Structure 1
Amino acid sequence: MRPEPLPRPAPISPEEFAARRERLMAELPERSAVLLPGAALKTRNHDSEYAFRQNSDFHYLCGFPEPDALLVLLPGREAGEAILYCQEKDPEKEAWTGIRIGPEGAVSDYGMDEAFDNTQRHNLSELLDGRQTVYLPLADTTAMGIAEGVRGQLSARARRGAIAPTRFADVSALIHELRLTKSEAELALMRHAAQISALAHRRAMQASRVGRFEYQLQAEIEHEFVWHGARAPAYGTIVGGGANACVLHYVENAAPLEDGDLVLIDAGGEFDLYAGDITRTFPVNGRFSDAQRALYDVVLEAEERAVAAVEPGATLESIHQGVVRDLTAGLIELGLLEGELEENIESQRFRRFYLHSTSHWLGLDVHDVGSYRIDGEPRPLEPGMVLTIEPGLYIPDAEDIPSAYRGIGIRIEDDVVVTESGREVLTSQVPKAAEDIETLMQERS
């Protein structure tokens, strides 16, 4: 029998969403406003839509889960600073697509000061009358269209005393800085997403068989996500057997799993919009060959040293440079690179085998937002930041490569929280030492 799903952590409270809005508005100048549209449904084909996923910035500020909503923030407004426009209640449509929250629910359940249905958007111009600067995501054509329309309406009424906004400014960077440091409630959701993702990777290891297809391991992974309440993958699941593991964003997942090959799985579940992100590489048949083990241990040592380097004040750049040094030294020891360590690093010869950076931020997006540099310098890590550590080696199938190493791709990835005293590894439930992987794989499902 299947085990019971994991207990669900508490969702983000309306009070926390309100505090986030307050922090954002505290950074704005006087006579400003914020316009932030939620996501819209997108047509998949004919009259069928893709599964809806809310815009991450919009979710961060209000948590409202329905499409076609618009958040308006009006700092200093006595009648209420947080206004939401949303789908109107409509019994006929609700019979087809489910109960809608409606304006009353937006106030009672989501902490809005006021809410209107979308048919009332004509009163936006009244709300924005006299606001000098409107902050919005400038790259969002929907947001820009709304803002330009309001400015046009107010400009047309200038002789009657209306005052149109004179400036549009980007709100995205301000929100992204807030999103970079996670609250305790967010960390609880991310721990849960990581735990679900870890169980999925363990399941895939135990389900691996020679002759099965990559997509069958994908099915095992994604079954575990949904069973435990992660309604979807946080990104396209990667299952690459053999040389397919050398393709960094391989998503075909259609090839058979061959005896003697490794398989690389990069997959994470999304729980309440927060992402897990784990990569493990393991032998299809449950046993590493000597060459696979030698290469794997190079990556593992680099990964473990990088995880141990995560602490307040460290930088992603310094962690990456440590990984480059460790991987390059291992490549020289295995005969895949020749010459001195410093020479290989300076000339970047290692990039033939290691093409990407070691880390990225993690949160509501799998490649989460927030700047990586401040005033041109690498940003020091601070408690509450969440990042990945994911070194890898990808050996091409080339004549100048020893045959035992050709076509091997290995990546090991964990999710790490920066704490006051060091780090918390969210994904430690998935084995990564070669002998631990082999032991788990012997416990075949």
Structure 2
Amino acid sequence: MIKEDEYKERRDTLVSKMSKNSIAVIFSNSYKTRSNDTEYPYRQNSNFYYMTGFKEDNATLVLIKKNKNYKSILFVNKKDKVDELWNGKRLGAKEAKKRFLVDQVYTDDKFEEKYKEYISAKKSLYFDFDLTFSKADLLKKHSRNISNYKNIAPIIQKMRLVKSDSEIKLIKKAINITKDAHLRAMKFKKQDRFEYELLAEIEHSFKSQGAYSDAYTSIIAGGNNANTLHYIENNKPFKNNDLILIDAGCEYEHYASDITRTIPVSGKFTEEQKEVYNLVLDTQLKVLEAIKPGVKRTKLQKIAVKCLTESLVELGILKGDIKKLIKKEKYKPYYPHGIGHWMGIDVHDQCPYKDENGKEIVLAKGMVLTIEPGLYLDIDDKKVPQKYRGIGIRIEDDILLTDDGYENLSADIIKTVEDIESIN
């Protein structure tokens, strides 16, 4: 768990980046309607959570900076017996003041009144420009004297790039739970079953270990379904000689994991599947060899593109000079995505890839990213030799940058052909 003093340190850092005589307002998420009077499961706004660790809705963090000093105010749901009867207990202002290291706590119904007081003599207002119209309009309604509106989201997102030790522990916990789910999926008898049955095994493994939320909608893609990158129907039957691409990761205490493994329905790869699989795995291993502080993600992408283009030539799918094929992006139909992304509170962590000057941010100790090469050979693509059509493979691991290299946080989730076949 992350201690309250770490959240306070983050607020201190955020305020140090704000201009003098300014105010910052960060809202929690609201419940989202699913249909009629039913709602989606609640999930806190990531930037608000990063700054507070508070999971309730109808909450707002206000930071008021004069010169170097600042005041922190938290607004929370008021205690209401009827509301709590229907929707569960609230922390309330009194308990929130005991728990959070903020200067003042008020109930949410006092926000507008207090905000008008706070904003009156300020020059700059920091808030998330992606706010809903209602919240943004509320702020601007009382901010007529403000001369500068500044987007706070990119500032917080840049802070989220480098993970603390406590964040890394939570990510490792999420990955360890996900490891058990993928191993359970590998051992599960998949012949004559449906994708949703395998999904149920994975979901059971997540939730039985305290990971109540998925980090994203899981992909359980049998056969040619793997060639749809965001396949989430998960309702088709498995065919005995097909592969299954499983892209599934849990979220633990708001921190994500993101793992992909590709396994055979029967427990054994065909020769053609094995051939393609090992080319993708070799690509991932070559990319991993290049990871260390100071390296750019674009370099990792170039390694992946070169290796996978060479693989496509080896398989007889592409023909010609490797450099010319890469320049013309002939690999794109078979490898259309990037080599990976930042990961943390969000599975695709909302952190920048370029700095304020448009220069690419290089890898540094404490950053976490995914590495996920793949090859997607659609069943209807006549350019692909018949024996390879319908094969879709992705292999994805979660990587932590260290002092002089990296740690593969998901290394215990087996991925060689031999290991996968031996587990069945």
User: TM-score, with normalisation over the residues of structure 1?
Assistant: 0.92
| Mapped partners of 1:130, 1:310: distance in 2 | 49
Structure 1 stretches lacking a partner, 5+ long: 1-10, 156-163
Change (3 A) 1:287 1:78: closer
Change (3 A) 1:165 1:285: same
User: Contact conserved, 2:72 with 2:104, CA < 8 A, in 1?
Assistant: yes
User: Contact conserved, 1:64 with 1:106, CA < 8 A, in 2?
Assistant: no
**1:79: how far off?**
10
Residue 360 of structure 2 corresponds to 378
> What do the CA deviations read for 1:182-232 (whole angstroms, capped 9, x no partner)?
000000000011111111111111114111101111111111111111111
Letter in 2 for 1:380: V
User: Contact conserved, 1:315 with 1:381, CA < 8 A, in 2?
Assistant: yes
**1:165: how far off?**
2.1
**1:75: how far off?**
2.1
Letter in 2 for 1:392: G
What is the Cα-based RMSD across aligned positions, in Å?
1.5
Letter in 1 for 2:377: I
Letter in 2 for 1:62: T
Residue 94 of structure 1 corresponds to 84
Deviates more, 1:387-396 or 1:224-233: 224-233
Residue 180 of structure 2 corresponds to 199
Letter in 1 for 2:26: L
Q: Are 1:183 and 2:183 matched, yes or no?
A: no
Residue 310 of structure 1 corresponds to 291
Residue 32 of structure 2 corresponds to 42
Q: How does 1:328-347 map to 2 (within 5 A)?
A: 328-347=309-328
> What do the CA deviations read for 1:3-52 (whole angstroms, capped 9, x no partner)?
xxxxxxxx111100000000000011100110111001122223222111
Of the three residues 106, 109, 112, the one matched with 1:116 is: 106
Of the three residues 357, 372, 382, the one matched with 1:390 is: 372
**1:111: how far off?**
1.9
Of the three residues 121, 130, 155, the one matched with 2:121 is: 130
Structure 2 stretches lacking a partner, 5+ long: none
| Mapped partners of 1:41, 1:379: distance in 2 | 34
| Mapped partners of 2:146, 2:383: distance in 1 | 64
Deviates more, 1:377-386 or 1:402-411: 377-386
> What do the CA deviations read for 1:112-168 (whole angstroms, capped 9, x no partner)?
2111111212121112221110100012124412211222xxx5xxxxxxxx32221
Q: How does 1:420-435 map to 2 (within 5 A)?
A: 420-435=403-418
> What do the CA deviations read for 1:68-89 (whole angstroms, capped 9, x no partner)?
1111011249996110111101
Residue 225 of structure 1 corresponds to 206
User: Contact conserved, 1:106 with 1:112, CA < 8 A, in 2?
Assistant: no
| Mapped partners of 1:279, 1:210: distance in 2 | 20
| Mapped partners of 1:377, 1:30: distance in 2 | 28
Q: Are 1:365 and 2:346 matched, yes or no?
A: yes
Letter in 2 for 1:424: E
Letter in 2 for 1:88: K
> What do the CA deviations read for 1:340-378 (whole angstroms, capped 9, x no partner)?
222221221111211100010001111112221233333
**1:402: how far off?**
1.3
User: Contact conserved, 2:20 with 2:68, CA < 8 A, in 1?
Assistant: no
Q: Are 1:243 and 2:234 matched, yes or no?
A: no
Q: Are 1:148 and 2:140 matched, yes or no?
A: yes
> What do the CA deviations read for 1:287-322 (whole angstroms, capped 9, x no partner)?
000000000000000011112221101111000100
User: Contact conserved, 1:80 with 1:113, CA < 8 A, in 2?
Assistant: no
SS in 1 for 2:160: helix
Of the three residues 278, 283, 286, the one matched with 2:259 is: 278
User: Contact conserved, 1:36 with 1:143, CA < 8 A, in 2?
Assistant: no
User: Contact conserved, 1:38 with 1:68, CA < 8 A, in 2?
Assistant: yes
**1:433: how far off?**
0.5
Letter in 1 for 2:203: E
Q: How does 1:30-69 map to 2 (within 5 A)?
A: 30-69=20-59
